[in-house]
């Protein structure tokens, strides 16, 4: 074999090995979403995701003020507790916080760390309304939408080699990336809206969760209608990341025949 042929063989081998590595990575990275069963692509493990979520959680709580309204705090913990109890994740270290801030926002991090902002309570109006938001946010965490978003982000931005670098613990850039992936806090950077597909999926899983927890799922379309009307001059944060349009309400209403029997059984 000539030197040239030898080199060509070498390059071919490297190409095949690389292709094989990518393929095995992709295959090992396919998981399925609870309730909807959709196949998703994840290159970070759930425990890595939970660790990252915990760092982002602590950092976010340091920056925010917790509500001292005992009655509302108790309501958030009660609704959260009921949704968590039917989530199928008793292994999570659940925590439900009410943050004193006049923005209509809420989030849930992997591992079960949840926060509701006081500004969204004027749209939720009741405990059932709060269960809509709670179910939806918990669904984003259960379905690992943030992890999925980080996975595609990592693949496109840094490539396979950069993953271990990007997963460095405690690094402020990593914390910020996690906060963004889960749609937290305006002061930490640009809010990334979840894709339309993730939103629909969180709505669907959220409806199942609230119905199973004994909350009337019909309240979901009423809540999103209120959100759609409450824009004002500047669109509220939750609204800009969770656009409430007619098609969303219609999709939710189309799911009701499936979830109402679950509610009837658990009310």
- Please, what is the minimum distance in Å from the beta carbon of residue 42 to Zn ion? 18
The DSSP secondary-structure symbol of 230 reads -
Q: Residue 160: beta bridge partners? A: none
Residues in region 27-46 near Zn ion by CB under 5 A = none
Rounded to 5 degrees, what are φ and ψ at 185?
60, 125
Closest to Zn ion by CB, 163 or 225? 225
Which residue shows structure tokens 């269960």?
Answer: 131
Would you please indicate which residues are annotated as catalytic (active-site) residues? 137
DSSP string, 188-218: TSPPPPPPHHHHHHHHHHHHHHHHHTT--TT
Residues 44-73: x/- map of binding to Zn ion (CB under 5 A)?
A: ------------------------------
Closest to Zn ion by CB, 49 or 137? 137
Which residues are CB-neighbours of 186 under 8 A, at least 6 positions away? Answer: 103, 237
Rounded to 5 degrees, what are φ and ψ at 8?
-60, -45
- Please, what is the minimum distance in Å from the beta carbon of residue 185 to Zn ion? 15
Calpha distance 79→234 (Å, rounded): 29
Closest to Zn ion by CB, 142 or 167? 142
User: Of the listed pieces 3-11, 109-117, 187-195, 231-239, which binds Zn ion according to CB under 5 A?
Assistant: 187-195
Burial per residue of 56-85, b for 16 or more beta-carbon CB atoms within 10 angstroms, e otherwise: bbebbeeebeebeeeebbebbbebbebbbe
Closest to Zn ion by CB, 56 or 202? 202
- Please, what is the minimum distance in Å from the beta carbon of residue 238 to Zn ion? 8
- Please, what is the minimum distance in Å from the beta carbon of residue 19 to Zn ion? 36
Whether the CB-CB separation of 184 and 60 falls below 8 Å is answered with yes
By the rule CB under 5 A, 139 interacts with Zn ion: no
By the rule CB under 5 A, 209 interacts with Zn ion: no
Closest to Zn ion by CB, 59 or 242? 242
User: Of the listed pieces 19-27, 94-102, 197-205, 223-231, which binds Zn ion according to CB under 5 A?
Assistant: 197-205
Residues 222-251: x/- map of binding to Zn ion (CB under 5 A)?
A: --------------------x---------
Whether the CB-CB separation of 106 and 137 falls below 8 Å is answered with yes
- Please, what is the minimum distance in Å from the beta carbon of residue 141 to Zn ion? 10
Whether the CB-CB separation of 206 and 220 falls below 8 Å is answered with yes
- Please, what is the minimum distance in Å from the beta carbon of residue 25 to Zn ion? 28
* Among 121, 202, 249, 262, contact with Zn ion (rule: CB under 5 A): 202
Closest to Zn ion by CB, 111 or 146? 146
What is the tally of helices (H) and strands (E) in the chain?
A: 12, 5
User: Of the listed pieces 12-20, 170-178, 191-199, 245-253, which binds Zn ion according to CB under 5 A?
Assistant: 191-199
Q: Are strands 106-109 and 113-117 parallel, antiparallel or unpaired?
A: antiparallel
225 C-beta neighbours (distance < 10 Å), count? 16
Residues binding Zn ion (CB under 5 A): 194, 202, 242
């Amino acid at each position: 074999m000539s030197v040239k042929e030898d080199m060509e063989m070498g390059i071919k081998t490297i190409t095949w090995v690389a292709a094989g590595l990518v393929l095995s990575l992709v295959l090992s990275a396919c998981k399925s979403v609870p309730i909807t069963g959709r196949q998703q692509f994840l290159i970070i493990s759930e425990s890595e995701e939970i660790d990252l979520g915990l760092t982002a959680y602590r950092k976010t709580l340091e920056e925010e003020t917790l509500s001292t309204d005992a009655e509302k705090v108790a309501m958030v913990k009660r609704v959260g507790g009921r949704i968590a109890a039917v989530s199928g994740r008793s292994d999570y270290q659940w925590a439900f916080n009410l943050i004193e801030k006049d923005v209509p926002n809420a989030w849930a991090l992997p591992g079960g760390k949840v926060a509701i902002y006081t500004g969204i309570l004027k749209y939720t109006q009741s405990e059932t309304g709060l269960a809509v938001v709670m179910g939806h946010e918990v669904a984003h965490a259960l379905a690992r939408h943030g992890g999925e978003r980080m996975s595609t982000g990592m693949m496109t931005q840094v490539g396979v080699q950069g993953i271990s670098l990007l997963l460095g613990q405690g690094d402020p850039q990593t914390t910020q990336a996690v906060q963004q992936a889960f749609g937290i806090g305006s002061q930490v950077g640009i809010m990334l809206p979840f894709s339309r597909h993730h939103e629909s999926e969180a709505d669907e899983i959220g409806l199942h969760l609230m119905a199973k927890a004994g909350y009337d799922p019909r309240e979901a379309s009423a809540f999103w209608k209120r959100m759609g009307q409450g824009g004002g001059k500047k669109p509220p944060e939750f609204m800009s990341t969770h656009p409430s349009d007619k098609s969303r309400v219609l999709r939710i209403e189309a799911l009701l025949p499936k979830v109402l029997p679950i509610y009837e059984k658990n009310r």
